[in-house]
Amino acid sequence: MTVVLEVDNIVKSFVKKRNVFGIASEHTHAVKDVSFTLEKGRTRAIVGESGAGKSTIGRMALRLEKPDTGAIRLFGDDILKMSAKSVRQLRSRATMIFQDPFNSLDPRMLVGQSVAEPLTLHTGLRGRDRENKVVELLERVGLRVDQMDKYPHEFSGGQLQRIAIARALATDPELIVCDEPVAALDVSIQAQVLNLLQDLQAEREISYLFISHDLALVKMFAHDVTVMRRGEIVESGPTAQIFEDPQEAYTKDLLSAIPVMNPSKRAARRALAAT
Ligand SMILES: Nc1ncnc2c1ncn2[C@@H]1O[C@H](COP(=O)(O)OP(=O)(O)OP(=O)(O)O)[C@@H](O)[C@H]1O
Ligand SMILES: [Mg+2]
């Protein structure tokens, strides 16, 4: 299997406090010695409580942030030693979608313009070819062509996340870091958006680094799971193994905390499981 992302012993700390002279006096150890791999066409979930370091790992994987020490290889290249130009080129192959789709889209831009933007930045498509591509992308995520002339505030959360996905897909990425992509959506809509992501993965062999605190969704969606706590990996392995035979007390606690589902949530999960 082709390894798309390889993270080796990464460490990251942030300055938490500075003294009166502006010198760092306290640090947050956000990520401590974390290693994992993500294979082509597969999904690895990163789970754990708030502040565990999940988003920091996601940002480092795309070189939006640099670790203090450790190595990260993306598509076989060491991204920490890359030139700024190579990093820019990387943006078309590896991208991110966020929890709040409203904040990730420019409120003053028509949706069609938002989806066209990465095409302008990273591809040679212009004029009618670019417009055709925008239409194709919007249709692929389940929106209508006439909706490209609307502004973000005219859409629901689920539709906005579809638009954010269309935008992410524009450059045909091989890796998408999904940081809590459905956490802000109604449960019934969560399953639809995850189904779309799963279909796209099957079609295009996209790899997902799927950051989530919702273990019930992770069980359905991810092939592999890495459980994190306070910057460290607690355990890591194939999803079935982690869920059926957790080795660590912390993982057992997380699993036992999966809420008893209400009927609408159960229906949404069934819809997802049936695909
Ligand atoms: N830019 C930053 N400056 C200072 N501290 C930061 C920064 N980014 C993250 N941290 C700290 O690093 C730790 C890990 O943060 P991170 O956002 O990665 O956690 P998370 O697992 O994504 O949490 P959540 O589930 O709440 O999103 C936290 O203690 C956070 O306060
Ligand atoms: Mg986070």
Q: Which ligand is nearest to the CA of 231?
A: 1
Residue 13 within a domain: no
Has residue 199 got a pLDDT over 70? Answer: yes
| Residue of 173, 178, 174 lying closest to 46 (CA atoms) | 178
pLDDT for residue 269: 62
Ligand with the closest atom to the CA of 16: 1
- Supply the range of the domain harboring residue 236: 46-66+84-273
Find all residues with CB under 8 Å of 268, minimum gap 6, and list them.
187, 188, 190, 191
Assigned domain for 95 exists? yes
Give tens-digit pLDDT for 104-152: 899 999 999 999 999 999 999 999 999 999 999 999 999 999 999 999 9
What is the tally of structural domains in the chain? Answer: 1
Q: At a CB cut-off of 8 Å and minimum separation 6, what does 59 contact? A: 65, 177
Ligand 1: residue whose CA is nearest its atom 6: 14
Take residue 93 and report the two structure tokens written for it.
């192959």
Does residue 22 form part of some domain?
A: no
Distance in Å, CA 145 to ligand 2 centroid: 33
- Mean pLDDT over 178-184 rounds to 96
Query: What's 188's domain CATH number?
Result: 3.40.50.300
- Nearest residue (by CA) to ligand 1, atom 14, is 53
Q: Residue 48 Cα, ligand 2 centroid: separation in angstroms?
A: 10
Domain membership of residue 39 (yes or no) is no
In tens, the pLDDT along 63-116 reads: 999 999 999 999 999 999 999 999 999 999 999 999 998 888 999 999 999 999
Structure tokens at 176: 């998408």
Task: Say if 2 falls within a structural domain.
Answer: no
Q: Does 11 fall in a domain?
A: no
pLDDT confidence of residue 274? 65
Q: For residue 38, tell me if it sits in a domain.
A: no
Instruction: Quick: pLDDT tens for 7-34.
Output: 999 999 999 999 999 999 999 999 999 9
Kindly state whether residue 253 falls inside one of the protein's structural domains.
Answer: yes
